[in-house]
Structure 1
Amino acid sequence: MYDNRMFLFNVPFLLIILIQLWNPVKATDGAISVAAYFPEIGNDLTKVTWAHAVNNRAKLNASLHDNSMMIEADVLMGQLTGSAPGENPLPIMGHPPTTTSDLSLEEFLTTILKSNKRKGVKLDFKSKEVFAGAENILEEILVKPEADFPIWLNADVAPGPVASTVKPVDPDYFVSTVVKKFPSALLSVGWTTRFGGDIQTGKYTDENIANMTDILSRNSVIHRVTFPVRAAIAANSGTELTGLVRSSVPGTTLTIWMSNDSDKVNVEALKYLILDLGRDKVYLDLPAGLIQELNLNNNNSAASPLRISVATSYMVLFGVAILSMLSL
């Protein structure tokens, strides 16, 4: 015989699940939500603004005084400008093939903490070695009370399109370390890519998706993540990417990026992906020109029927559960 007490016990749990599904940006994990930190965007993640490749002091100072919300920067092992020859390398801000910088990771983070500016941070680690070298710095700084802003830790951990020859960051080391050591940070994991120039076709394949989900599964990732995807390739991969996000933990998102002007983007296909998935599930780290071409502001309601349909389905399920309880 069915135990009424068990059902009554499950009702609050069902309510919690329903609330998380209704508003996934407020998922109950340790990472600070961008949407909650910047309530002015109204859960429309496409409105988040970015300062890109903030890898020196001048760019950092500029980004702290502009209207950007998220500061994106690259971290690699190298030397500070003016350091003695042969001095031990340390985590610095820079993008390969750079090997020197006037800004270390420690100074980068400390400067942001002391600025009292309302900014989020995305750190893109280029190798296992630099992430390992940065762990102590991150542990020391991210526990400070001032570190109350969104912090993303990013790496390309899986080989991706189009037959990329770039070596991914060790996936198990990076993912497991972020999960265990840095619960206040959002895990951002992507694929290495090769595109542009004479390569203008390609997509994120089912194999790419399966590889990524396997990495997350075997490292016990149970909280929301963001998947950075290259705009030109993402535009060709709508089915695969929407399936990935919708089958992931509530609150999981895409971060669509573009750093190479030679990439030819199918604007209409990319726009369809964004609106089909929902603007509450997609960040746009894109050039201003491409954002203008997307012209999303004229399509505020385009993806609403899907979101309303999903939300309504959850409400129906909840209603059925309540009626079942009352009939006992």
Structure 2
Amino acid sequence: MCFSLLCYWDPCASGGQGVGAALDYFISKGQIPDRDGGQVTWYHAANSKASTAEALKSAAHMIEADVLLRGREPREPIMAHPPHSDSDITLQDWLNEVLLSDKGIKLDFKSLEAVQSSIRLLESVKSQQSRPLWINADILPGPNGSPGQAVEAKGFLNSVCPVSPHAVLSLGWTTGWSPQTENHGYSWEMVKEMEQICGALPQPVTFPVRAALLRQSFTQLHWLLQQSDRYSLSVWTGKDDVYPVEDLLYLRNNFDKSRIFYDITEAQDAAFKKAIGYSSIVK
């Protein structure tokens, strides 16, 4: 997982709107009935022309894609996930397609290399229309995660914040999970280090947290959300992760549902929505 940034593209927007601006956007489009992050759905890895076209036809509210700097000339932002270093669609062309829709955007960065040129592209089109925008990257080592895989926090924030002052930053931890070992949760040290970084930021922040590590971390994550009404959680999952739907229900029943998003697999989403009485939307 990576470092996420959620923006609401509106020159008049204020950071105080928080992630609620994304919910308000989908409510205004008649796509969700109320401020409930559990109703927002996602399309993953729209990293080619074909998958982007499929995503635009889907019922998903948010389209997720990965951004890299092309591994050959011309060195420009493209839609690809490591180990790939090339693609049949650039970020510019991807934006041209997605901006014709009313979908929200989630861009995933694994390194700083493509950030500045990508942010410039986003700024160049921000006046076209307002929509939710998430920019994703892990900035700290987390449970069972590798420190070397984290995007350098200071460099990321210095690149993004001055150019996108109304962005909602979604900042995550590198993590790992294995069915064969004891999987530790988000420790007090981890959440307090994140709060130390985010407490001084003017923007709202959403924290990507791994669903399979929730049970071990409820107390720490509850504390983190209590530190500011600018904060929210974005629950995500690895495709092979195993966890009980009760963990998602506990989170939903004990946290403000307008501050929790669920970026999980289709099967997990179906089980979750069945448990809370919603119809699952195929992504």
| TM-score interval, normalised by the smaller of the two chains | 0.7 to 0.9
- Structure 2 counterparts to residues 148-163 of structure 1, below 5 A: 148-163=130-145
Q: Distance in 2 between matches of 1:68 and 1:252?
A: 24
- Structure 2 counterparts to residues 219-258 of structure 1, below 5 A: 220-248=200-228, 250-258=229-237
Letter in 2 for 1:256: V
What SS class does the counterpart of residue 241 from structure 1 fall into? helix
Q: Distance in 2 between matches of 1:53 and 1:41?
A: 27
More helix by share: 1
Give the match for residue 120 of structure 1: 104
Q: Distance in 2 between matches of 1:223 and 1:135?
A: 16
In structure 2, stretches of 5+ residues that fail to align are 1-13, 279-283
Residue 92 of structure 1: which of 34, 58, 78 is its match? 78
Residues 1:75 and 2:67 aligned together: yes
Q: Distance in 2 between matches of 1:31 and 1:280?
A: 8
Give the match for residue 116 of structure 2: 132
Give the match for residue 8 of structure 1: none
Percent identity reads 34
8 Å Cα contact 1:31/1:185 also seen in 2: no
Equivalent residues, number:
260
Residues 1:274 and 2:252 aligned together: yes
Q: Distance in 2 between matches of 1:266 and 1:221?
A: 34
| Pairwise CA distance, 1:165 | 4.5
Give the match for residue 55 of structure 1: 47
8 Å Cα contact 1:150/1:185 also seen in 2: no
Q: Distance in 1 between matches of 2:20 and 2:167?
A: 7
Aligned CA RMSD, in angstroms, stands at 2.2
In structure 1, stretches of 5+ residues that fail to align are 1-25, 80-85, 300-328
Q: Distance in 1 between matches of 2:259 and 2:249?
A: 13
| Pairwise CA distance, 1:240 | 0.8
What SS class does the counterpart of residue 69 from structure 2 fall into? strand
- Which structure: larger Rg? 1
Give the match for residue 321 of structure 1: none
Give the match for residue 171 of structure 2: 189
Give the match for residue 207 of structure 1: 189
Residues 1:46 and 2:38 aligned together: yes
| Pairwise CA distance, 1:267 | 2.7
Letter in 1 for 2:70: G
Letter in 1 for 2:36: D
| Pairwise CA distance, 1:236 | 2.2
- 1:255-282: CA deviations, max 9, x gaps? 1011322x12133233212221132111
Q: Distance in 2 between matches of 1:87 and 1:95?
A: 18
| Pairwise CA distance, 1:140 | 1.5
| Pairwise CA distance, 1:237 | 0.9
TM-score after normalising by structure 1 = 0.73
Q: Determine which structure has greater relative contact order: mean sequence separation of CA pairs < 8 Å that are 6+ residues apart, divided by chain length.
A: 2
8 Å Cα contact 2:20/2:35 also seen in 1: no
TM-score after normalising by structure 2 = 0.84
Q: CA 1:200/1:54 → structure 2, altered by over 3 Å: closer, same or farther?
A: farther
Residues 1:103 and 2:89 aligned together: yes
Q: Distance in 1 between matches of 2:77 and 2:267?
A: 33
Q: CA 1:226/1:162 → structure 2, altered by over 3 Å: closer, same or farther?
A: same
- 1:203-241: CA deviations, max 9, x gaps? 011111011112223xx3123211111110123211111
- 1:96-125: CA deviations, max 9, x gaps? 111111111111112212x2x211101111
